[in-house]
Amino acid sequence: MMGRWNNTNVPDFILMGLSDSEEIQMALFMLFFLIYVITMLGNVGMILIIRLDLQLHTPMYFFLTHLSFIDLSYSTVITPKTLANLLTSNSISFTGCFAQMFFFVFLGTAECYLLSSMAYDRYVAICSPLHYPVIMSKRLCLALLTGPYVIGFMDSFVNVVCMSRLHFCDSNIIHHFFCDTSPILALSCTDTYNTEILIFIIAGSTLMVSLFTISASYVCILSTILKINSTSGKQRAFSTCTSHLLGVTIFYGTMIFTYLKPRKSYSLGRDQVASVFYTIVIPMLNPLIYSLRNKEVKNALIRAMQRRQDSR
């Protein structure tokens, strides 16, 4: 099916990567490989800790498990190919390029809406603690989880279909280290105005709707926390949100900086640095943020280590 959409005179694309220097490429390979290993260990470890510890079988950690799964998948879509390009050939087939772009957009969109679901979960936990078990039922949790995946798939499908119908004539050099929308649009030899507008609307609506949901949730959370009389109560209530708030700030900051702007303001070096951060670095940071700043995860890890010692 993808072959029918291949409107290009070249069989594959060339990813220019981040540098032409062999020394820098080797340094980047070692750095990205280390980050990817930490990402794998951190996210797989987070999933296993939550699955194995019954005390973490709550809606908050149910969503956190899938955030780790998305981050793990997100990184795997980009990093292994980037590592291969740093050492060997930097070519990628037309089908492979658009497959990478499909999963990149799918997982990125799903993460935006999953962070919204997590913000709503924190809103209910702090603003309606007595009704939390009733409101956050298994059925609602599944709906709040399924929604991000479905919307992500639909947005990504539309994005890839529109992009794959463009004509790519002679140039096949992508000035980036993965198949992202802006550098691929720059290769098209046909008018891309309508495609750019559609992609901008899709990306903009994803960021704005999810960010509005998160902002509204935290406005209500802050209002509730300010009404708590004791300082310890305020600190305890706010501590349940700090990890999520930090993760949201880092993720949305780089996404907005990169995508909510016209193509004319595209800057190769600046946008590549931002892209490295949200495609390679953030999937590594999330499990660290949600574990190091979370007493329940720390306690679960301690219990797991104690059980391991007792079994010996």
- Domains parsed from the chain with CATH numbers: 18-298 (1.20.1070.10)
> What is residue 277's DSSP assignment?
I
Per-residue model confidence (pLDDT) at position 53: 85
Per-residue model confidence (pLDDT) at position 272: 78
Question: Is the model's pLDDT at 271 over the cut of 80?
Answer: no
**Looking at per-residue confidence, does 79 or 310 come out higher?**
79
The arithmetic mean of pLDDT across residues 19-23, rounded, is 82
Question: Is the model's pLDDT at 311 over the cut of 60?
Answer: yes
Q: What is the pLDDT of residues 72-99, one digit of tens each?
A: 999 999 999 999 988 887 888 888 999 9
Question: Is the model's pLDDT at 261 over the cut of 80?
Answer: no
Exposed/middle/buried for 37, CB within 10 Å: 0-12, 13-18, 19+?
exposed
Tokens, residue 191: 């008018």
d(CA 70, CA 114): 10
Tokens, residue 203: 């990306």
Kindly report the pTM of this predicted structure. Answer: 0.89
